[in-house]
């Protein structure tokens, strides 16, 4: 078994000024037991030879680890458009960083108990929301969308009260960074502007080393954040993913999906879909996500205004739409099984989406089975248009179907599938969590014998309301 001393942990964020965080330990869950362990991710982190039971002891705070220097991060943010001057890790601990073949990865413990930023919360997470985050992180990774992922999830004998009494849990997630738009907003709007250069220098050195020696490194950093954000949200739109809580404190500066809350994947195509039942005005509806991405970048621009001149900030913000639409059209060409570019492709994409809305078709299954729709019995004018566009490609129908299936998943994390897994887990049966994990890791494969997991949701599962409480 690998010794922890041989794993190279560090926490570079903990070398910054103390205004950025509070160093502290965390509160173990009593009688902790494994729910699920992500072996594929463990291998990428170099932790696959460590027994999951021993990892639980580490992440439950029962075994100390050299160089990890756990801390709770301080940040602020705009929540549903309203400024909140202090948020921070109210139930999370940044355990440390680990070096991998894909660069540094944060290890972050969620549900770790109270921190100075907990306000009136108990600092815990419930099993229900932890399972949803665990599964969705892997689902997004399987869909080739930048995302936080989770290494391990465990529960314990400590009840947590939300709307009802629920089992508590801890989840250990990874991300390239947990630095978010809100870290910069916290400094700029709370009289700590003098610390902004320290944070931006740290971010550039750690994550954009190619800019370090350049005179306009700050401007290049912001441009990169705008581009990564726009392309991330284009990817969300392409698979029908609704985040549900796009507050600025939930936006990664590296364009990764994280802080999963009341997310949802589109069932029947419904562009005004609202997955968060607390979002009374539809601010974070599915079709508003691209606009909110830009709004959040504007909030970050405001926080960076002491470091970057207004002209440069505006120029980068003006590029947001270009980055979004270029990536959106690129992704949808793949979904439609197209390789060549045509200047009318965006119109064709719009017409296809309008058709889905009008016919109330299942978003995922329609695109997965697009080949059959195009070349089946002609019933709709859209079929003729898609067939004509296909002829421009000069490829076989088999090649077209191959492209379609490589770009359209068979499986997504439908809310009812997560709900079934949660209900079993709350009774002590974790088998469905693990089964879903394996399916969602490879959502483009056929997974023979598991077709039921690709079917449209039953009626009761299409209208599940998901709350922020976790």
**Tokens describing residue 449:** 């014998």
- pLDDT at residue 4, rounded to an integer: 57
- pLDDT at residue 1, rounded to an integer: 40
Q: How many CA atoms lie within 13 A of 446 on its CB side?
A: 4
- pLDDT at residue 447, rounded to an integer: 94
User: Model's pTM, two decimal places?
Assistant: 0.95
CA 31 vs CA 4, 57, 92, 233: distances in Å: 22, 10, 20, 40
**Tokens describing residue 71:** 């801390």
State how far Cα 424 lies from the chain centre.
Answer: 25
- pLDDT at residue 165, rounded to an integer: 86
Angle of the 181-188 helix axis to the 289-304 helix axis, nearest 10: 40
Give every CB contact of residue 142 below 8 A, 6+ residues apart in sequence: 409, 440, 441, 442, 443, 444
C-alpha–C-alpha distance, residues 241 and 266, integer Å: 6
- pLDDT at residue 469, rounded to an integer: 53
Which stretches of the chain drop beneath a pLDDT of 50? 1-2, 470
- pLDDT at residue 57, rounded to an integer: 93
Q: Is residue 128 within a helix (H) or strand (E), and if so which, with residue range?
A: helix 127-142
249 is catalytic: yes
> Which is catalytic among the residues 89, 249, 259, 362?
249
The sign one gets for the Cα dihedral 231, 153, 285, 77 is negative
- pLDDT at residue 374, rounded to an integer: 95
Q: Is residue 249 within a helix (H) or strand (E), and if so which, with residue range?
A: none
pLDDT in tens, 366-377: 999 999 999 998
Residue percentage of the chain with pLDDT more than 90: 82
- pLDDT at residue 3, rounded to an integer: 54
- pLDDT at residue 462, rounded to an integer: 77
């Amino acid at each position: 078994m690998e010794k922890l001393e041989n794993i190279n942990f560090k926490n570079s964020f903990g070398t910054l000024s103390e205004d950025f965080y509070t160093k502290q330990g965390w509160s173990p869950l009593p009688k902790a037991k494994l729910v699920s362990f992500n072996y594929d991710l463990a291998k990428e982190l170099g932790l696959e030879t460590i027994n999951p039971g021993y990892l639980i002891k580490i992440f439950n705070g029962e075994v100390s680890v050299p160089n990890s220097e756990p801390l709770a991060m301080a940040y602020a943010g705009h929540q549903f458009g309203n400024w909140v001057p202090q948020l921070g890790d109210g139930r999370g601990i940044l355990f440390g960083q680990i070096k991998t073949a894909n660069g540094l990865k944060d290890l972050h413990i969620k549900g770790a108990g109270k921190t100075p930023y907990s306000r009136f919360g108990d600092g815990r997470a419930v099993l229900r929301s932890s399972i949803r985050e665990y599964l969705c992180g892997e689902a997004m990774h399987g869909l080739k969308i930048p995302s936080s992922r989770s290494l391990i999830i465990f529960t314990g004998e400590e009840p947590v009260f939300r709307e009802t009494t629920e089992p508590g849990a801890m989840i250990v997630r990874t991300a390239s960074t947990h630095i978010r738009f809100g870290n910069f907003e916290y400094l700029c709007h709370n009289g700590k502007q003098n610390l902004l250069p320290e944070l931006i220098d740290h971010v550039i050195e750690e994550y954009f080393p190619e800019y370090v020696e350049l005179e306009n490194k700050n401007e290049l950093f912001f441009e990169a954040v705008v581009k990564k954000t726009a392309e991330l949200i284009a990817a969300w739109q392409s698979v029908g993913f609704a985040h549900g809580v796009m507050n600025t404190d939930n936006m990664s500066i590296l364009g990764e999906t994280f802080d999963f809350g009341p997310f949802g994947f589109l069932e029947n195509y419904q562009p005004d879909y609202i997955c968060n039942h607390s979002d009374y005005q539809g601010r974070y509806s599915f079709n508003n996500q691209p606009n909110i991405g830009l709004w959040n970048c504007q909030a970050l621009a405001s926080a960076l205004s002491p470091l970057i001149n207004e002209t440069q900030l505006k120029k980068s913000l003006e590029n947001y739409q270009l980055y979004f639409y270029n990536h959106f059209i690129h992704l949808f060409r793949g979904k439609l099984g197209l390789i060549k570019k045509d200047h009318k492709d965006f119109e064709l994409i719009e017409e296809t989406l309008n058709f889905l809305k009008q016919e109330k078709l299942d978003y995922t299954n329609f695109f997965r089975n697009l080949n059959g729709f195009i070349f089946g019995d002609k019933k709709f004018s859209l079929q003729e248009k898609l067939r004509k566009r296909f002829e421009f490609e000069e490829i076989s129908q088999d090649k077209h179907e191959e492209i379609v299936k490589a770009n359209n998943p068979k499986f997504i994390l439908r809310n009812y599938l997560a709900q079934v897994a949660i209900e079993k887990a709350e009774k002590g049966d974790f088998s469905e969590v693990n089964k879903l994990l394996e399916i969602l890791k490879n959502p483009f494969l056929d997974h023979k014998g598991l077709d039921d997991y690709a079917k449209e949701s039953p009626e009761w599962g299409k209208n599940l309301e998901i709350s922020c409480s976790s």
